[in-house]
Structure 1
Amino acid sequence: MIAFRDAEVADAAALARLGAESFTETFGHLYDPADLAAFLENHRATSWAAQLGDPAFAVRLGEAEGRAVAYAKLGPPSLPFTPNGPAAELRQFYILRPWQGSGAAQALMDWVLSTARARGAEELYLSVFVDNHRARRFYARYGFVEVGSYDFMVGTHRDEDHIMRLAL
């Protein structure tokens, strides 16, 4: 059973660990260790603390068995696109493997959609790795459609990500 709550600045270290662990378990095998290490610098606790203290960001944290196991992060648009109106971006959406298929994804996405709407967004954007078929199917079920692509960098390694949009 996962318990969800809004994350606080005090959760920065737990979110840093969770982000790094989730990215590594899902994608780590694709990258040279140096590129992976460079990318994981994005998951430092200091970076998390800054975002958790910034009202432009909202993070929902899921905990089970005494530890952080899932989260979703909303923030201002940062992807290379031009919004049609007020927009938000789903910056990260991670669930550790043992809790995938538990209903956590639906609970987090319900929070994402309601929070984006409550913040005045008329559009929600995200990016997803082209070869992450499970995630792409999940987002498509909610009505997200592909509107472009861009180069997602993991260290010096270049991946293609799709940019997806949902009209709220």
Structure 2
Amino acid sequence: MDYRLGGPADAAAVAALFETSFVATFGHLYAAEDLALFLGGFGAERWATELADPALVFHVAEHDERILGYAKAGPLTLPVEVEGTALELRQLYLLADAQGSGAGQALLDRAMATAAARGAAAVVLSVYVDNHRARRFYERNGFKRVGRYTFMVGNHEDEDDLMVCSLVR
């Protein structure tokens, strides 16, 4: 597996990966119209804009020039108060064939290093309350649950756990 920073040229691949991974993991939870409304906001044009935004950083995992996963981090938007500044891990997605490969850990490690390099005192994320595998992964990496957050998928309200990992030791 190779790792690098993502850029605008990766927009189509990231868009496809996001949709494939999101639908495989969560698609069964939503009415078709809510899922379509949600995914409609994540076209390649939006990804190209985000991948060009210097406030956001994308770490990508690839094998044979195929992107298998990414982590996106940026300024805090979640309703969490932390001492000092925080970076938000906005997404960490892997294709099914990359799960269990160590790519998720490597992408999280890179996002955490980015946060530290940018002077953040903490990393904040939200994770679906019933995504037990992801919650255990984040807990193993030092994240603690600090509250709940409503995450909208179309017109459907999901409950997410808000989690924080302090970078100050």
TM-score where L is the length of structure 1: 0.96
Deviation at 1:83, TM superposition (A): 2.8
SS of equivalent to 1:42: coil
What is the distance in 2 between the residues matched to 1:48 and 1:115? 20
Structure 1: tracts of 5 or more residues without a match = none
Amino acid at match of 1:151: T
The share of aligned pairs that are identical, in percent, is 53
Q: Does 1:60 align with 2:74?
A: no
What is the distance in 2 between the residues matched to 1:76 and 1:60? 15
After TM superposition, the structure 1 stretch with the greater mean CA deviation from structure 2, 75-84 or 151-160, is: 75-84
Partner of residue 33, structure 2:
34
Amino acid at match of 1:130: V
Partner of residue 164, structure 1:
163
TM-score where L is the length of structure 2: 0.95
Deviation at 1:82, TM superposition (A): 2.3
Q: Does 1:92 align with 2:91?
A: yes
Amino acid at match of 2:116: R
Query: Quick check: 1:17–1:43 contact (8 Å CA) kept in 2?
Result: no
Deviations 1:79-119 (A, max 9, x none): 12223211100000001111100111111111011111001
After TM superposition, the structure 1 stretch with the greater mean CA deviation from structure 2, 45-54 or 64-73, is: 64-73
What is the distance in 2 between the residues matched to 1:42 and 1:89? 20
Structure 2: tracts of 5 or more residues without a match = none
Q: CA RMSD in A?
A: 1.0
Query: Quick check: 1:22–1:95 contact (8 Å CA) kept in 2?
Result: yes
Deviation at 1:35, TM superposition (A): 0.5
Partner of residue 24, structure 2:
25
